[in-house]
Structure 1
């Protein structure tokens, strides 16, 4: 009897230690997740999910994969989440699940998940609008191939995006191909921090070409990306983490949000690097784009008043001074993501969105600008848009050529830069399809 009591006591003590160890691992995984250190939270949640398939563990593991763009693995856990906890589940998980289904080209299942997302909305018109958007996207698809696209040979296994022409160079954001021992890594996706780099335009399709830092005076130990230049080439706007005098700054939650900076070219060097006045440590301001007359700056932000995750804003520029930023409203913005604006010379606003109906994740959309009014955005079509992220679009309206970025299948790495030429107009009409083939009848 005494031996039995001792055995039970030992089992009890070990079970307590096991539970305590599991609780500690769960708390550690949650800390990584809350800090957006998703590459680290995945490792812990994968161990935990084998032993404890709680709603929190499955949700956070699915989201960790989703936010690091591993959508196929995210799909597995979103499916498990919906199968086991769908009764009181936040409807946004149906939205994310739909994006993962599009990533595997399961469009019927994706639309079913999206319909459930809209059925759970407080707005009764959401389902009706969703079904109209399905028809519009079908008509865009019927146009067929609208662009010739080419993956640039300068792409690497790492991220390259946000390409713009500056003089005789292509300027874009990239990371080191072989990071050094002491290079910092971004714990969101475990890549090193982004820098603005450049390469001569004549070399962009040479596999052995090397990109160099665009301007060492703009380089810091933080992210720098998405540059845009004034027509005279003397002013640059770009995105960088919140910083002062080259040192990263964080808010009360230890987050270094993104901000837009401006610099002037003086005697061949970029100087007077200043943070724009509407930046804040408490939200992100990113992806600057200038109107053709350079009197308006468009950008994306999650500042207070945003309709969704990120919205497109604009701010008027008066003799170098900036007015109060304004949200472009519900025609352009949704309750999801709108980012990477570009204003073309023919008064069109291009941007990327996963809130407007598309082929999957971020798609490029276009809206006509007429006397400060914006038309309902339309998906720019295939094959520029894909079932994964497509963004950082810009076009020369005279040549109909430009660049965009994508993490689609068949690329060289994470995000790649693509060159494109528009070959067919965006004409969206009900039941209009372009059919290619040979017509025959019974006699021929």
Structure 2
């Protein structure tokens, strides 16, 4: 289920107290689609926008269609449409973020990482968020490639339909869950169900399934009574462990007197209670801190003793989006809600809380590092004091939305909700079990980015080294075109991470350690480097190459012979051969081509009698262009030719490093 649907679904009411009807909207197609969109009737808006985008594409239509797909959870269509959005001039950069989100949910982690970083570059104040989300793509891939093999999951087909079935809770010998399926009880007259303009399905209702098989087989399914399941959306629900106290979410309970005093009212989600007396659910009572037209309170759950109510809300004063709150029952009354704190809550959305019998909290979040959409997390603590949340990882979590978990009395088996690929409907209920509650394998990664100090431009082709201090082993990688790099780390090991470049100065080492780490961790590293001075270097004339070649041209031989003569006259210097390419082609290929060019010049000098110990060949690919001819810039053949060169630089043997100013870069 798309998280925004669950979090923000609401009803727009006219001043007369009736739902805004599609028949009352304007006849113009675009105006009608925009009215549906503004009214959150995405099911109806999509149909019109799809026709408009084919007939007359525009940025506004593309953006709104992409958003509609995202809101209803159609991530494949959303991906294709956001791809179109970013081709229009003057699009809002936030579309990079939305595009990255759906790419990640579609398991396209490398592409998602690229567009998260693009978002950070276009919106500098969001650079930290963008980098975190980009690095979370590495975590997602690692977790998916290394699932907890002690956990088994299966689709509870007997409970699921082709619609959304979600948020199961277990009590006595039964299960409560929410669904927007079309359902008519045996003793009811068949009538046309009311339809939600958001999904095109029926409004959500709370169902009860009674039986003994945890896989849902032979369950008897029924709706809770009509005074609980009102006309519009009802659920999800929670129930006390003895099955006698019900608390649930509802939308659409409108007080007409209050409605007359509100302009363009939006009916929010609220919490209600009911008790079972003599086997019958009593009339519902509202939570005293509901606020129908200002903010939502939803997704309630009870502590094992029933005295603490946890729920999700976008009430003022939170950390952003939906936050988790708690209220305590004292002398039969609920206290003013208190935010659960920044260990649990983030600038994104947290929802669907559940407290296990042992007091452990489980909840869904998009703000912590996830595999894609909503992920399920656990945390130990109470009220506003919590340890760091832990992602349940794969296979319980997936690149799609995973939420609404509940446990059987053994605390190791239970049910949860997911809209992952391969389900029976839009959202399905899944059963999970594990042999023992052991933590998955701990995976540690260092993921970083190299940027130029002052400009924050990404630096590609810079070699970064990782030294295992325990084994004395060293491995290295080149930073990619977007400046990123990564290494896998071993457990209980100390490392030195350092960068090495001739053109750039940076801190030569930073310390990392995986000792004592108890859960999978990503070390986010950022190198800020700046250009070095080359006052102690003397340039000779350059030699040039043909496109995509590294053979020595005839016009280069006289210059190489000059180098040979120079070396004979100056025996106390070393020559550094620094080869370069133009920007055409992939950066990785250009790096290899430049290395071949440097080596071909070195071989020519060796064949001419040069001392090999005094020659150093280096390739720099396309990282040091002499003009404006970078990727995507149209240039003449002559302009590109200027970049295909080998430079000869004379380096003093003693002392080389004395003149090389060092500067500590930032390593975060």
TM-score in terms of structure 2 length: 0.57
Closer, same or farther in 2 for the Cα pair 1:23/1:213, shift >3 Å?
closer
> Corresponding residue for 1:160?
165
CA deviation map 1:8-49 (0-9, x unaligned): xxxxxxxxxxxxxx9932221111001100011111111221
**Quick one: distance in 2 between partners of 1:246 and 1:366?**
41
Deviation for aligned residue 1:249: 7.1
Aligned equivalents of 1:156 and 1:371: distance in 2? 36
Please say if residues 146 and 381 of structure 1, whose CA atoms lie closer than 8 Å, have aligned partners that are also in contact. no
* Structure 1 Cα separation of the partners of residues 355 and 216 of structure 2: 29
2:46 is paired with a residue whose SS is: helix
Instruction: Please tell me whether the aligned partners of residues 233 and 250 of structure 2 are also in contact (alpha carbons under 8 angstroms).
Output: yes
Q: Which residue of 2 aligns with 1:190?
A: 200
Give the corresponding residue for 2:424.
Answer: 412
Q: Paired residue for 2:229?
A: 219
C-alpha displacement of 1:361: 1.3
Secondary structure of the 2:163 match is: coil
Please give the alpha-carbon distance, in whole angstroms, between the structure 2 residues aligned to 1:213 and 1:66: 30
- Deviation of residue 323 (structure 1)? 1.6
Query: Quick one: distance in 1 between partners of 2:273 and 2:305?
Result: 18
Which residue of 1 is the match for residue 439 of structure 2? Answer: 426
The answer as to 2:272 corresponding to 1:269 is no
Residue deviations 1:58-113 (CA, integer Å, cap 9, x gap): 1100001111111111111111112224x55142x223212221232211111222
| Structure 2 counterpart of 1:441 | none
1:133 deviates by 4.8
Aligned Cα root-mean-square deviation (Å): 2.9
Inter-CA distance 136–176: structure 2 relative to 1 (3 Å threshold): closer
Q: TM-score, normalised by structure 1?
A: 0.83
Shift of 1:348: 2.6
Q: 1:138 to 1:247 in 2, by over 3 A?
A: farther
Partner of 2:106: 104
Is the 8 Å Cα contact of residues 152 and 434 (structure 2) preserved in structure 1?
yes
Q: Which moved more, 1:102-111 or 1:70-79?
A: 102-111
CA distance in 1, matches of 2:298, 2:129: 29
CA contact (8 A) 1:156 1:177 kept: no
User: Which stretch shows the higher mean deviation, 413-422 or 46-55?
Assistant: 46-55
CA distance in structure 1 between the aligned counterparts of 2:141 and 2:404, rounded to whole angstroms: 24
The correspondence for 1:58, drawn from 55, 59, 62, is 62
Is the radius of gyration larger for structure 1 or structure 2?
2
Deviates most, 208-217 or 325-334:
208-217
> Which of 15, 38, 43 is the aligned partner of 2:42?
38
Q: CA shift at 1:318, angstroms? A: 1.4
Q: Greater RCO between the two (CA within 8 Å, min separation 6)? A: 1
Verify the 8 A CA contact 1:248 1:256 in the aligned structure 2.
no
Q: Following TM superposition, by how much is the alpha carbon of 1:416 offset from its aligned partner in structure 2, in angstroms?
A: 0.8
* Offset, 1:382: 0.8
| Most deviating of 252-261 and 148-157 | 252-261
**Unmatched 5+ stretches in structure 2:** 1-25, 185-189, 445-488, 492-668
What CA distance in whole angstroms lies between the structure 1 residues aligned with 2:291 and 2:135?
A: 38
1:8 alignment partner in structure 2: none
**SS of equivalent residue, structure 2 residue 423:** coil
> For the structure 1 residues 386 and 146, does the alpha-carbon distance in structure 2 shift closer, same or farther, using more than 3 Å as the test?
farther
Mapping of residues 243-322 of structure 1, within 5 Å: 243=253, 252-281=263-292, 282-322=294-334
